[in-house]
């Protein structure tokens, strides 16, 4: 076979993202025998992803609003490089139907759901309606017509009941969320939440939802074939959070009863079937620690930051499966049991100072040393002498450990974190050491409200000992 005919059969994947997820998608593209082209901003031209990709294309300046968040630039890059499929990673344009529609008009596949699905679940009000129609358990909620209309807000507060959460309809990553314990707080915080939502997502629509003060955040990994078929790859507990930002994730979620797990999995399967969902996605729930009520939160129609937890627990490659499906191939995923044989735990390592209110800490990394050994996985884009940029998310990498049970996994991860060294910048590694060795975390099943007060108390104790 000639070189030309061989290369003609090799698909091209355009990776429309950066950082550790760009590296992850490039590796998956190579795994399925595809070329990987990376779309980069000017700031990422010398990134690890750019080194690993078969080709790079510069799409704009460092500012994400002028590069990674411009669907027309991504579509242009896909056309320019002859891409067969675009993988958006997470964040940026991963859940924006405009990009998918631009690509579809040019005959380019999108490694994600259909545009109508993205619209149905990207708008939280719409997602709630779909969830109700699918028979899923939902919390009492109501749409905010005008965040400045105080009479309207008071009426909503009385209907939903306090305490309540103010949420951005198009939000994610903890942005646009405020806790309102009473009416006065609701009136004060609603305009703030709307302004933050406009800044982060370009849309200030809000809704309010009944708040459960002692709940766990449990999510279910799904994969749909686009025709109603649904695979359920277990559940993850993501309850160690700071201001709605996940810090630690584990699979399976510890301490769930068989009945609770069944409700989580069956509800997620029903939603995937109702949407005719295509590809990887995550259905997120609250599980109240007192009543054990299961409440649907939202669906993330993309690959999650924490997908390695599920991959290691079930021995699958979800990103490669996304690419295969987008290219019209069999995703090569197995039927799976409800509970994996291993426990997997992940920590997100960020360039932030956990002792200074998690202030971002970009800068030049002199050296990076990761732990090695059985059951250890590292997803990162760091390398020695890398200048960590200030323009984007502060995620540096993810350290994932697999073991035969939860106790062994916690012990192994605590050891792995202690052996990780990222010199030159401040990181959240000390915070993770503290969490992994805390008796509450080791017991399992902490609520989402656990971390903040515990960490604040620890900082006070450290400050006193320094004095």
> What dihedral do alpha carbons 187, 192, 195, 201 form, nearest 10°?
-110
CA end-to-end span of the chain, whole Å? Answer: 74
Contact at 8 Å (CB) between 271 and 230?
no
Q: Is 70 annotated as catalytic?
A: no
In this structure, the chain runs to a length of 467
3-state secondary structure (DSSP) of residue 58: strand
The angle subtended at Cα 157 by Cα 151 and Cα 161, nearest 5°, is 160
3-state secondary structure (DSSP) of residue 150: helix
Closest CA to 101 of 116, 91, 89, 122: 116
Contact at 8 Å (CB) between 403 and 418?
no
Sheet holding 178-180, edge to edge: 141-144, 206-210, 164-168, 178-180
> What dihedral do alpha carbons 195, 196, 202, 203 form, nearest 10°?
-60
CA 345 to CA 412: how far, in whole Å? 10
Strands 245-251 and 230-242 turn out to be antiparallel
Catalytic residue among 18, 260, 302, 348: 302
- Count of CB atoms situated within 10 Å of the CB of 116: 13
Contact at 8 Å (CB) between 276 and 283?
no
Residues with catalytic annotation?
Answer: 302
């Amino acid at each position: 076979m000639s070189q030309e005919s061989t290369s003609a059969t090799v698909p091209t994947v355009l990776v429309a993202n950066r950082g550790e997820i760009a590296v992850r998608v490039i590796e998956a593209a190579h795994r399925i025998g595809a070329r990987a082209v990376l779309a980069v901003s000017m700031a990422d031209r010398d990134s690890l992803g750019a080194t690993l990709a078969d080709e790079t294309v510069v799409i704009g300046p460092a500012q994400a609003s002028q590069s990674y968040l411009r669907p027309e630039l991504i579509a242009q890059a896909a056309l320019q490089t002859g891409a067969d499929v675009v993988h958006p990673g997470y964040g940026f344009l991963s859940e924006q139907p405009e990009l998918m529609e631009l690509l579809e008009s040019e005959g380019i596949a999108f490694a994600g759901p259909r545009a109508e699905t993205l619209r149905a679940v990207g708008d939280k009000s719409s997602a709630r309606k779909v969830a109700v129609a699918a028979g899923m358990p939902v919390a009492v909620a109501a749409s905010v017509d005008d965040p400045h209309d105080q009479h309207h807000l008071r009426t909503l507060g009385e209907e939903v009941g306090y305490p309540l959460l103010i949420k951005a309809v198009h939000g994610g990553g903890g942005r646009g969320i405020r806790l309102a314990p009473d009416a006065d707080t609701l009136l004060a915080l609603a305009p703030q939440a709307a302004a933050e939502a406009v800044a982060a997502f370009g849309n200030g629509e809000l809704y309010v939802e009944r708040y459960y003060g002692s709940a766990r955040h449990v999510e279910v990994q799904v994969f749909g074939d686009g025709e109603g078929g649904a695979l359920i790859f277990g559940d993850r507990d993501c309850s160690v959070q700071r201001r709605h930002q996940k810090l630690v994730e584990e699979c399976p979620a510890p301490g769930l009863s068989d009945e609770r797990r069944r409700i989580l999995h069956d509800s997620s399967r029903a939603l995937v079937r109702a949407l005719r969902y295509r590809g990887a996605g995550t259905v997120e729930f609250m599980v109240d620690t007192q009543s054990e009520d299961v409440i649907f939160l939202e669906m993330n129609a993309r690959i999650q930051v924490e997908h390695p937890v599920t991959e290691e627990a079930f021995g699958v490659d979800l990103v490669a499966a996304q690419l295969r499906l987008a290219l019209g191939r069999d995703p090569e995923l197995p039927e799976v049991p409800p509970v994996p044989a291993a426990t997997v735990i992940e920590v997100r390592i960020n360039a932030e100072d956990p002792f200074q209110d998690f202030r971002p800490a970009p800068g030049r990394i002199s050296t990076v040393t990761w732990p090695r050994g059985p059951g250890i996985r590292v997803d990162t884009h760091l390398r020695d002498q890398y200048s960590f940029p200030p323009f984007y998310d502060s995620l540096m990498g993810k350290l994932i450990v697999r073991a035969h049970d939860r106790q062994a996994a916690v012990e192994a991860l605590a050891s792995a974190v202690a052996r990780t060294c990222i010199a030159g910048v401040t990181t959240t590694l000390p915070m993770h050491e503290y969490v992994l060795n805390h008796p509450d975390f080791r017991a399992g099943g902490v609520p989402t409200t656990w971390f903040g007060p515990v960490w604040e108390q620890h900082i006070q104790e450290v400050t006193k000992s320094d004095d």
